[in-house]
Structure 1
């Protein structure tokens, strides 16, 4: 029997094809590996409500890492000690008050599966209503009463560098910020030192799986730490160049069964 492995899957651009589905071949391989005693987990920047559909589709029975590591829980095991690491509410409110000064179009704060919009935006809302969340709109410095799991800042492309420079200069000790790509070009903020590697370390220790037996797949800059931490960090062919340089190995793209092909070869299926 091969050592028990932990297989960590980013969703968008990695497990999911461009039409947001899981291919039948990759699903078949993951199902086979679970039957063989390996653990499969999702590690995503999405909230749980927007990843639950894929968790259920794969028939997973393991913890899940959401918000890039800011929320880790086990959907079907209440004895698992969930970890929620939100941003400090006072720092969040300080950022909310700077909307106009920094040319910010809108700010979205998420507290686990609740969504708070600074300004109501029907188009943007459609991108965040997956899983039927509780949604509120209004001045976030007033409406938000607890530290958010993450903050998303929407701004015109020309203002993004200045906003990120400001965030780094003022809040370097308190927050991490990353850029999302299409279809939602936003800046994501989470608490300092939170990333997917923190999540997979926590889960691997819970499952008693050695670091060398962790295989992680990713494609974007929010996968850097996870790809570096895993025993085998795998970059998709469609990944950004910087991630390919950090990865141990590359596989085919998200549209070409990159995960399924790599795992079938690795485990001789």
Structure 2
């Protein structure tokens, strides 16, 4: 069988709702690697919040973080580091425009440094994973470096209007995606950045053709990835737009959906 590249989103896909990798899924992924296939992670998380799972799986492949804005190889510095941040001028424009809306907070991440527009203990708990440096204060004053990504946290009823504004006014400079429940967050990266861009770079470095990529996802930041992959797989818990474009739909993240599909596709056994 041809070597495949298996691409895994984290939240809602590889991870159960308890944020762990199930023993069955881990065993099948290990079997896939033993059979010569490559396994990689593609996530919206920063590396500091995904390294624990990278190490748990014993991976030795590049990783896609920040939805494609940061692509690197944790164990091979010669592979290259591809970081494509948002311009500071764009950040200032977005922050300025958000003050016309009712929003809770804005967060900017510069690799492993976090900048929070308003102090918010609950929100800061999410970003404290991996012990980053956290700075609180108006981003227009405190943020001095082009950020890898931005996040806008807003009331549920305001998210749609903010989403429309970003599409109409800032579409040429940023791409944006919505987080799944319970957080009503819009995540921004530089225009043209998505998981598919990073996966394409990794696949070419490994010499694996597009048709031999199997990608798993569940949210709208996985749309380009599933559309790009030879086999795009939506989890049973995925949003409907993702299921509509997927080549296959598997079981949910709590039902070993990844393991079940790989056992069938790649003829793997426990």
TM-score band, normalised by shorter chain: over 0.9
> What is the deviation of 1:166?
1.6
Residue 175 of structure 2 aligns to a residue in which SS? Answer: strand
Q: 1:99 touches 1:105 (CA, 8 Å); kept in 2?
A: no
User: CA separation in 1, counterparts of 2:98 and 2:234?
Assistant: 36
SS at match of 1:199: helix
The residue matched to 2:76 in structure 1 has which SS?
Answer: coil
Per-residue CA deviations over 1:92-130 (Å, capped at 9, x if unaligned) read 112122342222221000111111001111111111111
Residue 189 of structure 1: SS of its match in structure 2?
strand
- RMSD of Structure 2 on Structure 1 (CA): 1.0
Aligned equivalents of 1:30 and 1:81: distance in 2? Answer: 26
1:86 matched to 2:88: no
Partner of 2:255: 256
Match for residue 54 of structure 2?
55
Q: Which runs of 4+ in 1 moved over 2 A?
A: 97-100
User: Within the alignment, does 1:148 sit opposite 2:143 as a pair?
Assistant: no
Q: Does 1:246 align with 2:245?
A: yes
Conserved in 2, the CA contact under 8 Å of 1:99 and 1:106?
no
- Are the aligned partners of 2:159 and 2:184 in contact in 1 as well (CA < 8 Å)? no
Total equivalences in the alignment: 268
Q: Which residue of 1 aligns with 2:102?
A: 103
Shifted more, 27-36 versus 96-105: the winner is 96-105
Structure 2 stretches of 5 or more lacking a match?
none
Give the 3-state SS of the residue equivalent to 2:97 in structure 1.
Answer: coil
Once the two structures are TM-superposed, the CA of residue 8 in structure 1 deviates from its matched residue by: 0.1
**By how many angstroms is 1:4 displaced?**
1.1
Deviations 1:33-59 (A, max 9, x none): 112221100001111111111001000
> Any conservation in 1 of the 2:179–2:186 contact (CA below 8 Å)?
yes
- Name the CA distance, whole Å, in 2 between partners of 1:47 and 1:184: 17
**Which structure 2 residues correspond to residues 28-47 of structure 1 after superposition, within 5 A?**
28-47=27-46
Alignment of 1:183-202 (within 5 A): 183-202=182-201
Matches within 5 A, 1:210-249: 210-249=209-248
CA deviation string 1:43-97 (max 9, x = no partner): 0111111111100100001100011101001111010111111111101112122
Q: Give a deviation string over 1:192-222, Cα, whole Å, max 9, x none.
A: 1111111110100111100010000011111
Q: Structure 1: 5+ residue runs without aligned partners?
A: none
* Correspondence 1:121-132 to 2 at 5 A: 121-132=120-131
**Structure-2 residue corresponding to 1:134:** 133
The residue that corresponds to 1:157 in the other structure is: 156
